[in-house]
Chain A
């Protein structure tokens, strides 16, 4: 079972009621898998005519209170941005998986991390955010799926799982229905859902608010929610940060490579640790800021020419140097390259 298929099955386990998809490499296995499994489970599968259709069908299904999702890869996710903005405006939960590939434009089909800005800044128009999860293994992809649906329901907003072509295509051992890494949350009552208004007041789901002041009220409400998410929902992992002189920050597949390089650098006596954000928004600003108090050197490694590095710089706020190493266009850093970068960092440092 490749990562794509594992995440599809995890979505079924997480209780997805409706899947809408349109094919694009490197995530086609998800749509193919869902086309077989969703009907078997008596749930909804639609292969849509376009990404626009898919995200708007997600909107429709979600408005009825059902758990709905779509998946795509970078160019397809760009096409969905209007829908994502509408989901945010209408306060509808949804899960969107982006199995990133090289860009801009149609780019290529190789793995990349070039959509970090798009995912963590909202992506579409308007003043909104999307919770963004950046798993780094097939197991974590599976674990994130349940969490994504829970967060989407709890905060009534779209949640993006930011994977990449490697995670989608690779296979590694995975437990699908084991103990939950993040405990399942009790889903809130969806008393806003369109379920037929007989015997109750009519519900309206919309994102158009023309009356003076009403939209700002919504913006403020969303903002308060986002602040609450930033306070309560940050997930990140750290390794040997307290005793390190160098802290490497990376997410997703890049973080696996960093882990390999850090292990080897430590074997060579270099004092280096790592921080791996799992939630990319909300970003682990506090954790990184705390590490920066002790005048460490930060190295950010990405499969792009530098996106998350800006969030690290915001968190470090000038307290420590923040350096960067990245490969783009579908190129993936090797353990050796990251190790060599770490080794070069240590030589001139005299503090």
Chain B
């Protein structure tokens, strides 16, 4: 063979139907929304919860130009084995907090995947594979009921945890103090409650 070098990179994608992993789970999550919605915090909470549960985990925030123009996202990979790439191109799960991020990432979610979308801010139906499970959570409305729109991220995370079943909302709540700066610790009860309410919503709306 004369050489495999391809200056454009390989454009062909992976062969269809190749399973990501034969053994164990390999969960790739994108949390996305706009700046100020606590996207980074939600991703870090998930990573911290996974770490405390003894899983392999990586967390990667968007730090590049994609952060500008109002969208923020963080990528979390949780597995039973050492993690290859912390970058997620085709997630198993998406937590989409605004319309732009759902439009961008929902089409990339793998078949059989999960989309949690914040229906308080999103009217349209996401474009997903037929086998993907979509749960519309009125996260902002539930958050406002709890005292602040700011905990909508935790409502959505609670719904994700309930649907995915990897970790309980309680285990995530127990990690809140690790990821929230001390000056926000007065919001711990509200955020814990938001996680619980999100989980409860997912349980009753599946």
Name A's B-contacting residues (CB within 8 A).
2, 25-26, 108-110, 165-166, 169-173, 253, 256-257, 259-261, 263-264, 267, 299, 305-306, 321, 323-328, 330-337, 339-341, 343-345, 348-349
| Given A170-B59, A340-B14, A267:B22 Cβ within 8 A | yes
* A173 x B64 contact (CB < 8 A): no
Enumerate chain A residues within 8 angstroms of B18, measured Cβ to Cβ: 264, 336, 339
Is B41 an interface position by the 8 A CB rule? no
- Please name the 9 residue pairs, one residue from A and one from B, whose CB atoms are nearest each other, closest first: A260-B84, A336-B14, A323-B4, A171-B59, A172-B58, A170-B86, A170-B60, A327-B9, A324-B5
Enumerate chain B residues within 8 angstroms of A2, measured Cβ to Cβ: 61
Nearest A residue (CB) for B66: A110
**C-alpha spacing A214/B58, complex, angstroms:** 52
Nearest A residue (CB) for B58: A172
* B57 x A173 contact (CB < 8 A): yes
Enumerate chain A residues within 8 angstroms of B6, measured Cβ to Cβ: 325
**C-alpha spacing A336/B20, complex, angstroms:** 9
Enumerate chain B residues within 8 angstroms of A324, measured Cβ to Cβ: 3-5
| Given A264-B18, A306-B5, A348-B1, A325:B10 Cβ within 8 A | yes
| Given A166-B86, A171-B59, A110:B64 Cβ within 8 A | yes
| Given A324-B5, A348-B1, A259:B82 Cβ within 8 A | yes
Name B's A-contacting residues (CB within 8 A).
1, 3-7, 9-10, 12-15, 18, 20-22, 44, 47, 51, 56-61, 63-65, 81-87, 89
* A323 x B87 contact (CB < 8 A): no
**C-alpha spacing A325/B65, complex, angstroms:** 26
* A331 x B9 contact (CB < 8 A): yes
Enumerate chain A residues within 8 angstroms of B15, measured Cβ to Cβ: 340, 343
**C-alpha spacing A327/B58, complex, angstroms:** 22
**C-alpha spacing A264/B26, complex, angstroms:** 13
**C-alpha spacing A36/B52, complex, angstroms:** 27
* B63 x A26 contact (CB < 8 A): yes
* B3 x A323 contact (CB < 8 A): yes
CB within 8 A of A171: which of B4, B56, B58, B63? B58
6 residue pairs bridging A and B, Cβ less than 8 Å apart = A2-B61, A108-B65, A323-B3, A332-B85, A334-B14, A339-B14
Nearest B residue (CB) for A256: B84
Chain B nearest Cβ from A240, distance in angstroms: 15
Enumerate chain A residues within 8 angstroms of B1, measured Cβ to Cβ: 321, 323, 345, 348-349
* B9 x A333 contact (CB < 8 A): yes
Chain A nearest Cβ from B48, distance in angstroms: 9
**C-alpha spacing A170/B84, complex, angstroms:** 13
Enumerate chain B residues within 8 angstroms of A341, measured Cβ to Cβ: 4, 10
**Which one of A165, A172, A256, A321 has the greatest number of beta carbons of chain B within 10 Å?**
A172
**C-alpha spacing A324/B7, complex, angstroms:** 10
Enumerate chain B residues within 8 angstroms of A334, measured Cβ to Cβ: 14, 85, 87, 89
Enumerate chain A residues within 8 angstroms of B51, measured Cβ to Cβ: 173
**C-alpha spacing A25/B22, complex, angstroms:** 38
Chain B nearest Cβ from A298, distance in angstroms: 11
